[in-house]
Amino acid sequence: MVDAIKQEKESVRKMLQRFSGYLRRSNKLFDAKKRRFYRKPDNKHQVKRSTLYRKRQGERINFLVRSGQMKEEDANKRKRRH
């Protein structure tokens, strides 16, 4: 744990600056953020399935555009989003 005890004749602002420096140098904040946003790796089956899904969606959108059921601008918006 990172501590910063207020020294005699030290302002609170200076103490907080010291504490922030200790925290930055200890990398505790970096480790906490890394754990917070950790994403479990996908297994091979999930990767294949998501790839096939994206490919099918792209084909479906292309078909809708060619058949005139969807505007080209709307298709481009969807493609960028996924």
pTM of the model: 0.46
Residues contacting residue 7 through CB under 8 Å, at least 6 positions apart: 15
Residue 81: its pLDDT value, please? 58
Residue 28: its pLDDT value, please? 86
User: How many C-alpha atoms does 74 have within 13 Å on its Cβ side?
Assistant: 9
Residue ranges of the chain with per-residue pLDDT less than 50:
82
Residues contacting residue 12 through CB under 8 Å, at least 6 positions apart: 6
Residues contacting residue 79 through CB under 8 Å, at least 6 positions apart: 58, 61
Residue 37: its pLDDT value, please? 83
Residue 32: its pLDDT value, please? 86
**DSSP 8-state assignment for residue 6:** P
